[in-house]
């Protein structure tokens, strides 16, 4: 009966270690790509709902103050719904089923609404900050994407 020599075992372990060392960066890159893809989709959904809210406010379907911008006062309004100003029976307009979570925020205790950075209509684009309405959202994640752009500027 023939067994493995010590050298054969060492070579086999070394080859497996090299293959594992090559696979780890690829797996990390794949995970980052997946999170970035989720971030793009979430931003697209929220921004689309914000734009729909503004369009409906401009059309008179959503009541707004005379000095209001027409954007939702809170991000949660997109999910909780707003009264349809043209409906006599008090129907509500719902723009999202749920607020998607920022995929870079991994703490499940944080409400999805609180995972996003908010920008009001009155704040400048180079220094976004929350205010009386929600004009835009951005990720609060530190770091840069694979495209070289900081996540906070997506």
Note the pLDDT tens digit of each residue in 28-40: 888 899 999 999 9
**pLDDT mean over 19-27:** 79
The mean predicted confidence, pLDDT, of the chain is 90
Distance CA 47, CA 151 (A): 16
Are 135 and 71 contacting, i.e. CB atoms less than 8 angstroms apart? Answer: yes
Burial call 54-82: b when 16+ CB within 10 Å, e when fewer: bebbeeebbebeeeebbbbbebebbbeeb
**pLDDT mean over 39-48:** 97
Tokens 């960066």, located at residue? 25
For residue 2, what pLDDT is reported?
Answer: 73
Distance CA 43, CA 1 (A): 64
**pLDDT mean over 93-113:** 93
Distance CA 2, CA 51 (A): 73
């Amino acid at each position: 009966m023939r067994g493995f020599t010590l050298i054969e075992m060492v070579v086999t372990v070394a080859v497996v270690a090299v293959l594992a060392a090559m696979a780890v960066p690829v797996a990390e890159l794949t995970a980052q790509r997946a999170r970035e893809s989720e971030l793009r989709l979430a931003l697209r959904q929220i921004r689309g709902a914000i734009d729909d809210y503004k369009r409906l406010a401009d059309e008179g379907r959503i009541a707004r103050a005379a000095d209001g911008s027409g954007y939702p006062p809170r991000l949660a309004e997109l999910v909780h719904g707003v009264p349809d100003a043209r409906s006599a029976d008090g129907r509500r307009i719902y723009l999202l089923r749920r607020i998607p979570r920022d995929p870079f925020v991994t703490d499940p205790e944080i409400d999805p609404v609180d995972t996003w950075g908010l920008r009001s209509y009155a704040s400048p684009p180079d220094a976004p900050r929350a205010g009386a309405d929600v004009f835009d959202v951005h990720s609060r994640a530190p770091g840069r994407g694979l495209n070289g752009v900081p996540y906070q500027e997506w």
